[in-house]
Structure 1
Amino acid sequence: MIGILIPAHNEEELIEQCIRAALRAACHERLGGETVLVLVVLDSCTDRSSEIVDSYPVHSLAIEARNVGQARAAGARFLLDQGVRWISCSDADSRVAKDWLVAQLDLGADAVCGTVTVDQWTAAFDESAQIRYHQRYQARDGHRHIHGANLGISADAYRRAGGFAPLASDEDVQMVRQLERCGANIAWSQRPQVLTSARLDSRARGGFGDFLREMAQLG
């Protein structure tokens, strides 16, 4: 069994597209009918996120932490308790490709760090800001970007690494560092594809949204 882990905090505008994409990936023919459990961790949601999630054939877990590290950790525990062999992490403002799970598993690694592609540039990003972004971002195999929106970890490697730390940001970076210290085989690949939003009001400080904000404000 495979688990898809999606933390969410007040994501009523984007969560539906995220779930639909995850469900498409879960039905990929090359998975050979293996069960895929999609879990949305609703962290301190006060909008319609819970109602939207409940309308789809996915699992949900409600917590009151307002902390993405705690949300991912709680979700991972839930999935491991169900017996998953692999945890694929994404974000509620992102849409995974149909072959996302297959692409992660095909790499044969203990963990996979994938890249992200901005879905649609907002008015905050003029041409010069987009040029700066593409100069800085390495959309290629062998990159060194770490995104919670595109991260896969085997259950065994996750346990060896000690799980997600209860951090308000950079919980994904800390996880990868722990995996490296454990000697895990990590694939840095652009093959697993994820579209993500270009919003600047990111839910967690220090993540991709702050990187985009820096690109927009330079110059």
Structure 2
Amino acid sequence: MTPDSRVRTVVVIPARNEADRIPACLAALAAQSALDLAVVVVANNCIDATEAAARAAATAAGMRLDVVNVTLGSEEGVGTARRLGCEHALRSWPAADALLFTDADCLTGADWIARNRHHLTRVAAVCGRVNPMPEELFVLKDMDIPLAEMEGRYEALVTAFYRRHRPGPLGLDGEHAHAAGASLAVRRDALQAVGGFADLATGEDRDLVRRLKATGHAVLHAGDVTVTASCRLDGRARDGMSAALRARADRTDYLIDDALPPAERLIAARDSGLLGPWPPLVTPQDRLRASDLLPHIRALEAALDMTSTCGVAH
């Protein structure tokens, strides 16, 4: 079959047992009137009607859709699913110059495709802002608010530290610090230059962003590119967003985001000139618990001379 040369944008969506969510995800994309669009749903290890639901939604919307059915091994995960989706997209639509990524439990903003395409005219990749679905925030009603506020404050300090001490393409160009596969867009040439997604069970999105930045590709963390993501606690990716939310909802001490290093590590990296690309990667042994954050908050406040505006009780 002759490839469709009209397709310039391909959205790749990993989906595992997402029959209930994939129709709304595809409908949000179809509503954007992108005539050059094709979608690849990577149905991995599905035992429900994900494929049938996706095909029905695409047919109703007049959407170009391919479903790639794969069975992944126990050590594989969403990184492999995204990689296989990319390979299919690049083979099927050789004229496509932009690959966009979201998740099956996300709803893209009304102009998500257009805004991504706009930014890709000047940068190699775009990280969008990921917001929670307001109607699902109730699942976090039991969250330990003081611990959540502590983590939020530390995240803000780490981000501020990076903005000050890691300028340039390795740092944070844009309005937020997200680097999630729920909203990611990459030019074809840049994706191929760094070898695409790695076969990681989780964290494949941040890994790709780090490699893009480390090889000189400009990445924009765009505030006008948005998706809303599910707050469900029974997610599909091992150690993914749902696992993180579940840990916070359990009202127990938990490991904070693995992109938030200990303060002394950040300061030492700055002092040695070895502060790497955003987002940083924290090794398992260096992960911090929420209950241990106060001294790290104080250390970064001191490093940023922000003690007087901290807002955290000492």
- Note if 1:121 corresponds to 2:136: yes
Q: Which residue of 2 aligns with 1:68?
A: 78
SS in 1 for 2:139: coil
What RMSD in Å do the two structures reach over aligned CA positions?
2.3
Per the TM alignment, residue 41 of structure 1 is displaced from its structure 2 partner at its CA by 0.7
The letter for the 2-side match of 1:194 is V
User: Aligned equivalents of 1:192 and 1:93: distance in 2?
Assistant: 17
Note the 1:141-180 alignment, pairs <5 A: 141-180=174-213
User: Aligned equivalents of 2:11 and 2:25: distance in 1?
Assistant: 11
- Note if 1:10 corresponds to 2:25: no
- Note if 1:103 corresponds to 2:115: yes
Per the TM alignment, residue 52 of structure 1 is displaced from its structure 2 partner at its CA by 0.7
Are the equivalent residues in 2 in contact too, given 1:86–1:153 (CA < 8 A)? Answer: yes
Instruction: Return the TM-score normalized by structure 1.
Output: 0.88
Change (3 A) 1:216 1:161: same
SS in 1 for 2:136: coil
User: Aligned equivalents of 1:40 and 1:154: distance in 2?
Assistant: 19
Per the TM alignment, residue 109 of structure 1 is displaced from its structure 2 partner at its CA by 1.3
Structure 1 unaligned runs (5+)?
A: none
SS in 2 for 1:193: strand
Higher relative contact order (CA 8 A, sep 6+): 1
User: Aligned equivalents of 1:3 and 1:141: distance in 2?
Assistant: 24
SS in 2 for 1:17: helix
Note the 1:1-219 alignment, pairs <5 A: 1-25=8-32, 27-28=33-34, 33=35, 35-55=36-56, 56=58, 57=63, 58-65=65-72, 67-81=77-91, 82-83=93-94, 84-107=96-119, 108-119=122-133, 120-126=135-141, 132=148, 135=152, 141-218=174-251
The letter for the 2-side match of 1:143 is H
The letter for the 2-side match of 1:156 is D
Per the TM alignment, residue 130 of structure 1 is displaced from its structure 2 partner at its CA by 7.1
SS in 2 for 1:60: strand
SS in 1 for 2:31: helix
* Deviations 1:150-175, CA, capped at 9 Å, x for gaps: 00000000011111111111111111
SS in 2 for 1:13: coil
**How many residues in Structure 1 have an aligned counterpart in Structure 2?**
212
The letter for the 1-side match of 2:130 is V
Structure 2 unaligned runs (5+)?
A: 1-7, 157-172, 253-314
Change (3 A) 1:129 1:18: farther
SS in 1 for 2:216: coil
Q: Which has the larger radius of gyration?
A: 2
Change (3 A) 1:12 1:177: same
Are the equivalent residues in 1 in contact too, given 2:19–2:54 (CA < 8 A)? Answer: no
User: Aligned equivalents of 2:145 and 2:174: distance in 1?
Assistant: 21
Are the equivalent residues in 1 in contact too, given 2:16–2:236 (CA < 8 A)? Answer: yes
Are the equivalent residues in 1 in contact too, given 2:232–2:242 (CA < 8 A)? Answer: yes
The letter for the 1-side match of 2:11 is I
SS in 2 for 1:191: strand
SS in 1 for 2:207: helix
Are the equivalent residues in 1 in contact too, given 2:9–2:99 (CA < 8 A)? Answer: yes
User: Aligned equivalents of 2:145 and 2:240: distance in 1?
Assistant: 18
Per the TM alignment, residue 217 of structure 1 is displaced from its structure 2 partner at its CA by 3.2
Per the TM alignment, residue 187 of structure 1 is displaced from its structure 2 partner at its CA by 0.1
Change (3 A) 1:129 1:20: farther
SS in 2 for 1:124: helix
User: Aligned equivalents of 2:246 and 2:176: distance in 1?
Assistant: 21
Identity of counterpart residues, as a percentage?
A: 29
Instruction: Return the TM-score normalized by structure 2.
Output: 0.62
Are the equivalent residues in 2 in contact too, given 1:147–1:208 (CA < 8 A)? Answer: no
Per the TM alignment, residue 21 of structure 1 is displaced from its structure 2 partner at its CA by 0.8
